[in-house]
Amino acid sequence: MTDAKTTIESTVTDNDVVLFMKGTKEMPQCGFSSRVAGVLNYMGVEFADVNVLADEAIRQGIKDYSDWPTIPQLYVKGEFVGGCDIVTEMTLSGELDALFEQNGVTFDKAAADKIREANA
């Protein structure tokens, strides 16, 4: 498990935005992962994707690392943000925009506004 933890720590710290997910950002393999990747892709956020289905040690390791039982898991600047429900709520409230702005993460504000308009 130490190797998985080391890999997770370096991935989280070496990338501004990381999504641990089932599948990839181009081909999600779960509805929840698809939703979060879809939001990030639509908002034009550059992010690293880690397919937890490809490595059982990473799949369990990320749950232990965050003390969060589900996948997907979003990290911004090394900090755990949350899973699908939290990211969805933050997107709709504008909190995700604020988090990205505070951390210098480039995103398309107009796209974020469109998501909110479509879900109003």
Q: What is the pTM of this model?
A: 0.95
Structural domain containing residue 12: 2-118
What mean pLDDT value characterizes the chain?
96
pLDDT over 90, % of the chain = 98
Q: Report d(CA 30, CA 103) in Å as an integer.
A: 28
Report CA Rg, the chain: 14
Alpha helices by DSSP H, listed for 2-94, are: 2-14, 31-42, 56-66, 84-93
| Structural contact between residues 61 and 5, judged by C-beta atoms closer than 8 angstroms | yes
CATH at residue 98 = 3.40.30.10
Q: Report d(CA 52, CA 103) in Å as an integer.
A: 25
Q: How many structural domains does the chain have?
A: 1
As given in the structure block, the two tokens for residue 112 are 């974020």
| Residue 120, pLDDT above cutoff 90 | no
| Residue 43, pLDDT above cutoff 60 | yes
- pLDDT at 81 (0 to 100): 98
